[in-house]
Every structure is written in structure tokens, then in C-alpha cells.
A and B are shown apart, each in its own frame.
Chain A
């Protein structure tokens, strides 16, 4: 009986173990090795820290790096601020029969690819776009304004892309929030702000943290939206990695950047968990 159980375990574990090893671990090990190798003065490949040193010596690299990190945190916070009322509305305000419908409405845009969604925004926002057209028609603007290609638009696009990944975990925690807790707090003299800070947010903490981790990682690793909606000055660190791999054909530099990004995201998530007093094992549940 016991041998049987073990056999089943191996049978079902094998695909995931193979996948983890072949698709994740092996390539990353190769990249890691690559990141520590560079050409010496004679054009030979040798072990070296040159790729990592490059990063610290060139201001454009670490400036982009810091910008990407800060903007990702900003996007995560903005997404949370927008997603919390939306999730609360769906779970506790609207009639239960509509909440499924509203969920579907949230889900619907994600049935199209991110590329199409970003182009949708571009059609709306560009100089000859829909919004400009109406503003000029109504006489609010004299001539069309370029709304694309700046940081604000890029953040708008990133928040929009991330919404669902914050709303879904928030809905699942808010569903378990007993309405009578809110009423009890109200009855005991609390106002809306106190209820939000003392009852709703502490209750939702696991969902907030898991949603924030997902949104943060997706934003940090996003390539498409910053590239299409951000301007020339809105550099994203993924673009630096892309440039190294594709434009400069410098795979060693690219993999070093890749690992720096991995370390950065791990550090920020670790700090976030410490700051909110949550445990990863609890959050991923």
C-alpha cells in the first residue's frame, strides 16, 4: 500500500519536476554562468564580475533600475487603491446575482491579448485619437494634445493591465468578511475611515499582500506596456535587458541584468512581507 502511494506520487510529480528543472532551473543556471563571463583584453571568455560592475558604473543602468522599482511600487499602490473599492462593491454592496456579472465584466478585457489592449489605449489617447477628437470638437482644447509617451500614461497602462490580479485575491478575502463586523464597528461608534483601517484592511491583509506581490512582479517584468505607452524618457529596466540581448547581442550583460532584476524583486517582496508582518506561506495559500 505504501509503495503504491509512493509510485503515484512520483507519477504525478514527474511532469512538474521535469518542467521546473528543464524550463526554469537549467536555463537560469546557464544564464547565471553567462552573467559571470566576459571577454578579456584578448577577446577570450573568462570568469569576471565585469557585467555587474558595468551596471554600477553606468548611471543610466542603475537609474533605470531604481526608476523601474519605484514606479512598480507606485503602480502596485495605485492598483490597490482602485481595486479595493471595486472589490468591496462587488462582494458587499451589489446584489449577489450581479456580482458574478460584474466579475465577468472585469475579466472580459483580459480575454484579448495585452498588445491589443495597449493599442486600444493608444487609439484613445494619441494626438489624433478619440479623446482628443472629442475635446477639440467640444471646444475644450484648441488643438490636439499628445497624451501618449509620458510617465503618467505608462502608469495608467500598467495599472489597467494589473487590475484583475489585485481584484481577484481581494474579492476572495472580502467574501469571507462578515458584514456584521462592519455593522458592529459602526454600532460601536466607528466612522467609515476607521472601519476601513481597523476592520476591512486588517481582514484583507493576506489578499492585499498576495495581490500586491503578483501585481508588483508583473509590473516589474512588464515589457510591452512601458515600451509602447512610455515615451523616450520612460525607460523600463526590461527594455535594458532586451537591448542587451537583442540590440547589442551581449548575452552576458543581459543575463547579469536579468539576475539583478530577480534579486531586486525578491528583496522588495521580502521587505514588503516584513513591513506588513505577513508570512509568505500564509499569503500563497
Chain B
């Protein structure tokens, strides 16, 4: 059970307790628990096949959990069919009704709630304005661009004022530029309307940019639920460390421990000192190191004496603007490392097959107990 900021004044909109879903012998969702408070943007981040869509469909009511309780604003949802739940789902491919125009799409849910004709028109206009599509009421769905369709899909759900809005990777089909733009817009919209969003995605940048809290999911379980900043800087499991952001994984063996600082020797023979952040290690245990590309400094100043230093051979320069990297291998090794390459012209002289020194601070790496017997 993950508890997040125990704020007593916040109402819990969605509560998932020990929910399990089994398909015959395969366990898609394995005893997942979490609470989402009112007005939060909560993301579930995981690779495809990790069970996140199944979890979302259980919240929406399309599948019943094998075990566990899903409650919305304190009301148990067991046996409540999708058309009776106070949640709405935005589908991966949006599922706008092509046989209706924009206004009819948005009015569809209101008509089911037996809202009066005049009210429907007023609400439709208000919500279209809110998502930035005033005057689009009579457009046909196939006349809209990808981003506009997105907004209609969101409007169609938000107009019903659901307690929780579920989003199933709705940005997946958009091109990169539009996706980046929609990320910001979605975040702004959520802050404006104040509806609780539960967003699932395999794209870590979507989850990190938009969310108040992110749950990292793997093989049907939650690995970690935390704020985006904490997920990135303080991953609690090796999976999170590798899945959220880029990371260089390196295995080694513990050779010494003084206080919080452990000495780890890699198979290549490099000896590093690293902060264990309170984790306990058996003597001579295997250790998995995770180094962010930006934690590794290229040719650090000799005066910085607390750095772990080692030499690498540059294999390639991966130029990508502000996100440029060096692909390098430590001496006498095949292991590839990705090293952040700041674009401040300081390192313009670096060429492939150059030998350069790399340094990193023992506090900026993360280590986990590794598998026994690995050297």
C-alpha cells in the first residue's frame, strides 16, 4: 500500500485496494493498491503488457477484478456497469462517433442523462470553448485534425463532469510536436477544471511532465508511486531506475563499506565510491550501479577530489541538440555508456576514438543489491 501526502482535508476520489485480475493462469494485475485524491493528476507508467490497460478497464467497469475493491468517492463499484459509473474513459484511439458531428458527440452522454435540449446546447458550447474549439459544433469528425479530435474526446467526457477521468494513452497516435503541445495543454486543462485524472502511458516524458503522482508499473505490480521528481532522483527499485529516464546500468562487487559510502569494483577493474542511501549490503555482495548520463562529467577539473574518475574511449557522438550524448566504453571493456554532452562548446574538440576522463560524484549514483554470483 502506497500512501501519498496524508492530507486529511483532501477527499479520496478513487481508491483501489488489493485489486487482482487473473486471465486463467496469467495474472495481469497483481494485488495493486493506491488512492487518488480529488483534483490530482495521477499517472500509471509502465511498458506495454504490464497490465496498466487492464487496471484502467477495471476502474471503468469493462472488466471485473478477480479480487480486491475499487471504490469511487467511498462507494464500492463492484457489480456497477460502465454506464452507471461516475467515471469516463478516453480511449486510446479516442473512439469519437464518426456518424455524428462534434456537437452530437458531446451531447451523446448528456442525452443519456436526460438533460434538457437547451441545457445540452449551453453545456456543449461552454465545454467547446473550454477546450479551445469554439464554433466547431457542426464540424464532422473527419474534418478535424488529430489535436482537435483529442480535444473533442476530452470535451465529450468532461461535459459529463465525471468524478474521475480515465485516459488510455490518448496522445499515442499524435506526432511528436503535437504530443509535446498536447501534454502542456492537457496539464493546463486539468488544473483549470480540477477533475481527477488517471492517465496511463508507456511514455515516461508524458507521465513526468503532466502528473502530480506517477505509479511505475511492471508485470502487474506497482514498483513505486511517487512524485515525478522523486521517481527520477530517488528510484526505489532497479526497474524504476532504468525505466524512468535514461540510466547506465553497471554491475559490480562490494569490497568495502564505511558508513554510507560503499566501495564497488566493476568487472573492468574500476573502483568507485558510492552513497548507499541507507540500503544494506552483505559483505562481498553483488551491486547494481545506475548512473544518469548527466551525472557523468566529461574531463572534470582536477581540483574536484571527491569524484570517481575513470577513462573511456569515445565510440560515437550522438548529437541531439540540448540532449546530446557521448557513446563511450571504459578502457579494456565492451560495456557501452551514455554520457551527457553539454552543448556549451566546451567539448567541441572531442572526436570518436579519443580517450577522455570521466568523473562522477558518489552521491549522484544509485546502487541496489545485485544478483549473487555476478562478478
Can you list 25 residue pairs at the A/B interface with Cβ under 8 Å?
A180-B92, A180-B95, A181-B95, A183-B82, A183-B89, A184-B89, A184-B91, A184-B95, A185-B97, A185-B108, A186-B83, A187-B61, A187-B88, A187-B89, A188-B108, A188-B160, A189-B83, A189-B84, A189-B112, A189-B113, A190-B83, A194-B112, A198-B100, A199-B99, A202-B99
What's the A-B contact tally at a CB cutoff of 8 Å?
Answer: 60
Q: Which chain B residue shows the least CB distance to A180? A: B95
**Cα–Cα distance between A203 and B62 once the two chains are bound (Å):** 22
Residues of B in contact with A (beta carbons under 8 Å apart) = 60-62, 81-84, 88-89, 91-93, 95-100, 108-109, 112-113, 156-157, 160
Q: Is A281 an interface residue (CB 8 A)?
A: no
Chain A, interface size category, equals 10 to 19
Q: A40 interface residue, CB < 8 Å from B? A: no
Whether the pair B112, A187 counts as a contact (CB closer than 8 A) is no
With a cutoff of 8 Å between Cβ atoms, the chain A residues found around residue B156 in the complex are 188
The contact string, 1 if C-beta is below 8 Å from chain B, for chain A 173-204, is: 00000101101111111110010001100110
CA distance A55 to B247 in the complex (A): 89
Q: Which residues of B contact A194 (CB under 8 A)?
A: 112
Partner of B112, one of A181, A190, A203: A190
Judging by beta carbons under 8 Å apart, are B93 and A189 in contact? Answer: no
> Considering only CB atoms, which chain A residue lies closest to B153 in the complex?
A184
Pick the contact of A189 from B91, B98, B99, B109 — CB < 8 Å? B109
Known contacts A189-B109, A190-B108; can you find 17 more A-B pairs with CB under 8 A? A180-B95, A181-B95, A183-B62, A183-B82, A183-B89, A184-B96, A187-B60, A187-B61, A188-B83, A188-B88, A188-B109, A188-B157, A191-B83, A198-B97, A199-B97, A199-B99, A203-B99
Residue of B at shortest CB range from A194? Answer: B112
Could you tell me which A residues sit within 8 Å of B by CB distance? Answer: 178, 180-181, 183-191, 194, 198-199, 202-203
C-alpha spacing A184/B61, complex, angstroms: 12
Bound-state Cα–Cα, A188 to B99, Å? 16
Q: What residues on B are CB-neighbors of A180 within 8 Å?
A: 91-93, 95
Residues of A contacting B93 with CB < 8 Å? 178, 180
Determine which residue in B83, B92, B98 has the highest number of CB atoms from chain A within 10 A of its CB, and name it: B83
Which of A181, A188, A191 has most chain B Cβ within 10 Å?
A188
Question: Do B95 and A183 have beta carbons less than 8 Å apart?
Answer: yes
- A190 cross-chain contacts in B, Cβ below 8 A: 83, 108, 112
* Distance from A236 Cβ to chain B, minimum over Cβ atoms (Å): 37
Inter-chain contact B97/A181, CB cutoff 8 Å:
yes
State how many angstroms separate the Cβ of B286 from the closest Cβ of chain A: 46
Q: Which 5 A-B pairs have the closest CB atoms?
A: A189-B112, A184-B95, A188-B109, A202-B99, A180-B95
Query: From B166, which residue of chain A is reached at the shortest CB distance?
Result: A187
Bound form: Cα–Cα A272–B133 in Å: 37
Closest to B114 in A: A189
A189 to B108, CA, bound (A): 9
Query: Please, how many angstroms separate the alpha-carbon atoms of A188 and B157 in the complex?
Result: 7
Q: Which chain A residue lies CB-closest to B99?
A: A202
Of the listed residues B82, B98, B157, the one surrounded by the most CB atoms of chain A closer than 10 A to its CB is B82
Closest-CB distance, A68 to chain B (whole angstroms):
34
Closest to A181 in B: B95
The answer to whether A187 and B83 touch across the interface, beta carbons within 8 angstroms, is yes
- Which residues does chain B contribute within 8 Å of A198, judged by CB atoms? 97, 99-100, 108
> How far apart are B83's CB and chain A's nearest CB, in angstroms?
5
Cα separation A191 to B82 with both chains bound (whole Å): 10
